[in-house]
Chains A and B, each alone.
Chain A
Amino acid sequence: MLGSGILKGLAVTAKNFVGSYHNPARMVTQEYPDVQPQLPANYRNFPFLVTENATDPMGTMRCVACQICEKECPPQCIYIEKSKDKKPDANGKLQLYPAVFDIDTAVCMSCQLCVEVCPFDAIKMDHVFAIAATNRFSGLLLNREELAKPNTYFHEIRPDEAAEVDGRLAAERAAAEEKAKAAAAAKATAATATKPATGGAAAP
């Protein structure tokens, strides 16, 4: 019968209309911003720099200014200047740190290649998505103070990945300590065997 196809279609829309009042499968709209979205842990938007310590973020940054992310960033939105001096990192090893670390979020496309190439777990992807600014240039340019977020925040947004990273870093730290201890012990035995060396040579 001509028109039966249309009637069947109208029955479907009627079912969907009624269902949108009581059937959760058909109630899909979220009332943003009254209801904030539940972001999955893997959600990525804009990078941030991980610091060990919330009270001294600039002093405990994991970044050692190796500039790998700057080179690999496809839209070239990262700008790093190395420091002139060195500071001890979490392992006690003297390292450079970024004197300037800028990310232009107007250019960043959140591809997370910087995270993948970082050998120090220093840069990770954030969960922020509402970062509107009134100034097009400096408002969207984040410097290292704005980018630095403590490790506790990383644990908050990505608990699994943060725990895995912490475990790996702790293992590395332990291995480094072990090595330093062994080196010190070897040195001590060497020192007792021969004459003590003049001056205090720094441990490697």
Chain B
Amino acid sequence: MRAVHDEFHGDLLEVSMGPQHPSTHGVFRMVVTLDGEQIVKLKPVFGYLHRNHEKIAESTSYLSSMPYTDRLDYLCSMSNNWAYALAVEKLGGLTVPDRAQYLRVIMAELTRLVNHSCLVGFLFNDLGTSFTPLLYAFREREKILDLFESLSGSRMMCNYQRFGGCRVDPPPAWLAAASALVDNFPRFLDEYETMLTGNEIMLARTQGIGPMGAAQAINAGITGPCLRATGVDYDLRKVDAYGFYPRFNFRVPLGAHGDTYDRYMMRILEMRESVKILQQAFRELPAGPIMDPKAKLRGFRPKVGEAYGRLEGPKGELGFYLISDGSTNPWRYRVRPPSLINLTLLEELCLGRTIADAVVILGSIDIVLGEVDR
């Protein structure tokens, strides 16, 4: 902490929030300059979890990078796997069998439930309702993680997708358990919303806090629920129509104000839409192979070229940009991290607010430091 002297504002106070701070969701640091209680400047500081994932991936084979993608956004390993598989499939011209496409949708939507229930839990932690909403959310999340564990072997580091398909074919008992869980999920959401959505303190703390304009958000590259909270209808599941998403009937929830409350509601509404997608997927899941017979995991050498694969991750647009020079290692491997780019507007959103609001705004943006710093 140090005082900054200024003729007009008296003493400004510079506070370094983080990297070890419970509200920063990991090792994230903000250097905040305060005028009294008001934030007049906020500079995020990154790199405390930097492992140079891209350099590691450029020095190993295409297959060996797959388990590392689990560790980017460690809440959403299934989506990360899919995004990487999507880019490699585009690079190598691979196809994916129907059953694997359905399984990917199932896993990605279950991951969305995991991520969003985590997010709303942590958001309430940031609001000061210590742990009760978080533990209720974690209780439901844990049930989905148990499913992931019994299928892929690990709760969070699933390493499930492969280029050209998926790794394990779920047995009928797994599908029945997953389907029952998904059918029960709206009941949890109803209970959760009864508990919190109408809560007056929560409304006072979130409505009108940190509003984002649509044009501002588009220019700053904000994606995912934060963008749709501003009313911009841009969901890659609809726009890019990757995987088998065109086969599913679902709507894209849109907000109007782009404030913290809208960002919270986006997550709740997206979970309800995910439940709909999952119910359709369990109904229509076809039988068949789960791997493209042409796909070669070991010693995979795509032709010279480049590809950019992106998908709608729970946090926003997750992209992988790969350049192949014809060898077994990618020449360039780039992750487009939604968590990092969604922080572009953090300073603008927090200016003029208090520290307590900055914590809530950061919580509603939804970052995971494994992905911010890579």
Contacts and interface: CB of A to CB of B under 8 A. Distances in A.
Contacts of A166: none
A26 B63 CA distance: 41
Contacts of A41: 150
A72 to B, nearest CB: 6
A12 B195 CA distance: 6
A116 interface: yes
B67 A43 contact: no
From B66, B197, B198, name the one whose CB has the most chain A CB atoms within 10 angstroms. B198
Given A42-B152, A113-B63, A116-B297, A5 B198 contact: yes
A123 interface: no
Interface string B324-351: 0000000000000000000000000000
Interface stretch (B7-15, B95-103, B153-161): B153-161
Interface stretch (A87-95, A104-112, A141-149): A104-112
Given A6-B199, A74-B68, A111-B67, A42 B297 contact: no
A112 B298 contact: no
B183 interface: no
A2 B200 contact: yes
Contacts of B196: 9
Interface in B124-153: 132, 136, 139, 142, 146, 149-153
B199 A5 contact: yes
A6 B136 contact: no
Given A3-B200, A111-B67, A111-B159, A72 B298 contact: yes
Contacts of A3: 200
Nearest to A40: B150
Contacts of B132: 13
Nearest to B138: A28
A165 interface: no
A16 interface: yes
A123 B364 CA distance: 44
Interface size range of chain A in the complex? 20 to 34
Contacts of B195: 8-9, 12-13
A42 B150 contact: yes
A110 B65 contact: no
A135 interface: no
Nearest to B298: A117
Contacts of A109: 67, 157
Nearest to A116: B297
A148 B202 CA distance: 56
Nearest to B197: A5
A112 B67 CA distance: 9
B203 interface: yes
A68 interface: yes
Contact of A4 (B70, B146, B198): B198
Contacts of B279: none
A120 to B, nearest CB: 14
Nearest to B132: A13
Contact of B153 (A8, A28, A43, A113): A43
Contact of B136 (A4, A16, A117): A16
B284 interface: no
A44 interface: yes
Contact of B199 (A9, A16, A117, A125): A9
A111 B67 CA distance: 6
Nearest to B167: A116
Given A5-B203, A9-B196, A125-B153, A72 B142 contact: no
A144 B298 CA distance: 25
A40 B149 contact: yes
Given A43-B153, A116-B297, A12 B67 contact: no
A73 B60 CA distance: 9
A16 B136 CA distance: 9
Contacts of B198: 4-5, 8-9
B256 to A, nearest CB: 21
Interface string A46-61: 0000000000000000
A90 B149 CA distance: 33
Contacts of A113: 63-64, 66-67, 159
Contacts of B297: 116-117
Contact of A28 (B66, B68, B139, B154): B139
B136 A5 contact: no
14 contacts: A9-B195, A9-B199, A12-B194, A16-B136, A26-B139, A40-B149, A43-B149, A43-B153, A72-B61, A74-B67, A110-B157, A111-B66, A111-B67, A111-B159
Interface of A: 2-6, 8-9, 11-13, 16, 26, 28, 40-44, 68, 72-74, 109-113, 116-117, 125
Interface of B: 60-61, 63-68, 70, 132, 136, 139, 142, 146, 149-154, 157, 159, 167-168, 191, 194-203, 297-298
Given A43-B153, A43-B154, A72-B298, 6 more contacts: A9-B194, A9-B196, A16-B136, A40-B146, A113-B67, A116-B297
